[in-house]
Amino acid sequence: MRPYRIDIPQVVLDDLHRRLAATRWPAELPGVGWDRGVPLGYLRELAEYWRTGYDWRAAEARLNRYSQFTTEIDGANVHFLHVRSPEPEAVPVIVTHGWPGSVADFLPVIGPLTDPRGHGCDPADAFHLVVPSLPGYGFSGPVAQTGWDTDRIARAWAELMRRLGYQQYLAQGGDFGTVVSLLLSTADPERVTGVHINMLLNGPLDDPSGLDGLSVSELARLDLLPRFNADQSGYMKLQSTRPQTLAYALTDSPVGQLAWIVEKFREWTDSARVPEDAVDRDHLLTTVMMYWLTATAGSSAQLYYEIADLLPVNTAGWKVAPNPVPLGVAVYPKDMFLPVRRFADRDFPNILRWSEFDRGGHFPAMEEPDLFVADLREFARAVRRYRAGGR
């Protein structure tokens, strides 16, 4: 375990600003809006703000307020935040981001989760937080080997929590973090006491008669996957088949990296017109910076290649074994996929808590931190009751 502090050399920031100023912009067809990708006018204005208004040093200082470390696990460098609560009886939880996310996703919730007393809430709801960067992402940096799939990451997380001395802990995640957290419960079932996820992709229907009795809204949820595959999955197909080719463009062009990520924040968040309707502009740019500064556009995409057989474009649902511990599912209405409870119960018979919200999308810790915090607290309480013999 080596203490880590983010300290980006000024020459790297100067190079970014130079590249932004020298961007070669494409043409655009009139009147197409977001239908064919990120609009030229929007992206030019955002890129100019990135160059002249955004303050990386402020974001860097915010991240550095929290204890960070790196450690080598199974040949990979793993960067993580480790924020211990002032409450001695706090519940340990490992929180895993997805793509295009980073540890910065959770900055809005670190304070309330670790220090509820300081935020006017019950100190019994405190957590010790472990927030790792996925291998190949951000300051975990590129991996040096093939084979870093979600199973291997889950085993690495089990080893990380062992090294930190946690005998029992919760796991939380969304996107890839959902899969990793579910697999972690099977890799370390004696220590993982519960899993909380904010994205669940239902498994495939084995029998068309399973559609009988579904409501109009439930049928609409099932329709999200084919719609996603038809209209929004191009990035996934490219990252899962040719991540190295993509890496050259995104590692060389900051505006390319910006557009690649911003498009997903527009499509997967509870935004009305632009991503900033749902996520603060500076926070959005900090997410982009976590990829740009570490040159991990390509290495992060390698995870798609490693688990291509599991991806929605190649299957009707994630093929993940039922986790052996209590499960909490949080459903935000503007996420890319929305689960149907009937099929969730079939695939995961140990669901302990199911929450449906009226706002929020794929990045709830950034979009709706209050909802995210409250639901994780409620799930932890439910797990305590469950382990004490109640439900």
Six token digits for residue 302: 């390698």
Tell me if 247 sits within 8 A of 257, measured CB to CB: no
Q: Nearest Cα to 110, choosing from 78, 83, 79?
A: 83
Concatenating the DSSP letter of every residue in 314-344 gives: TSSS---PPPSS-EEEEE-TTSS----HHHH
- 8 Å CB contact between 390 and 133: no
Residue 20 neighbours by CB distance under 10 Å? 17
Query: How far apart are alpha carbons 314 and 338 in whole angstroms?
Result: 18
Give me the DSSP letters along 109-129. HHHHHH-TGGGTS-GGG-EEE
Catalytic residues, by residue number, are 175, 304, 362
The conformation of residue 106, written as its DSSP 8-state character, comes to: G
Q: Give burial (CB, 10 Å; 0-12/13-18/19+) of 218.
A: middle
Q: Which two tokens stand for residue 124?
A: 């019994």
